[in-house]
């Protein structure tokens, strides 16, 4: 099992927060299948849906996202099962922003090291 460095996100978690931010801005929340479609590779398939849903569960437990079931009447009117809806919390947005800043810093350091011929 991959160990997490304290205060960091796994790449999939950062992807979920990035894509979830876009979906949430457009729709108010997002659900797993809409997220999976956006995260899918060029072939239109996500490598492992189980991994996605485990990550969503882990992120919910950590307070990065919150989840709730949609109104059953909406699902019934559309003739489909209810969806579990997710929203990024303030904690999740802050973690996303910190992770992006950390990655930018790592990139700057790597570029500086390479430019100085230290690599």
> If DSSP codes are grouped into helix, strand and coil, which group holds residue 66?
strand
Contacts of 69 (CB under 8 A, 6+ apart): 82, 83, 84, 85
pLDDT tier at 64, thresholds 50, 70, 90? very high
Q: Is the dihedral of CA 104, 42, 10, 2 positive or negative?
A: negative
Question: What pLDDT score does 41 carry?
Answer: 73
Domains of the chain and CATH, by start: 11-115 (1.10.10.10)
pLDDT tier at 117, thresholds 50, 70, 90? low
81, 72 contact by CB (below 8 A): no
pTM of the model: 0.84
CA distance 118 to 115: 8
Average pLDDT value for the chain: 89
Q: pLDDT, tens digit, for every residue of 5-50?
A: 777 899 999 999 999 999 999 999 999 999 998 988 777 766 667 7
Token pair, residue 12, equals: 């999939």
Of 91 and 50, the structure prediction assigns the larger pLDDT to 91
């Amino acid at each position: 099992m991959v160990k997490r460095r304290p205060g960091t996100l796994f790449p999939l978690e950062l992807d979920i927060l990035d894509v979830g931010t876009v979906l949430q801005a457009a729709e108010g929340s997002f659900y797993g299948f809409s997220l999976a479609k956006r995260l899918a590779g060029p072939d239109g398939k996500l490598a492992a849906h189980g991994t996605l849903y485990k990550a969503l569960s882990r992120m919910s437990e950590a307070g990065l996202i919150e989840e709730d079931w949609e109104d059953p009447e909406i699902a019934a009117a559309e003739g489909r099962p209810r969806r579990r809806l997710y929203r990024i919390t303030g904690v999740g947005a802050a973690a996303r922003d910190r992770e992006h800043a950390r990655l930018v810093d790592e990139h700057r350091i790597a570029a500086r090291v390479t430019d100085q011929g230290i690599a």
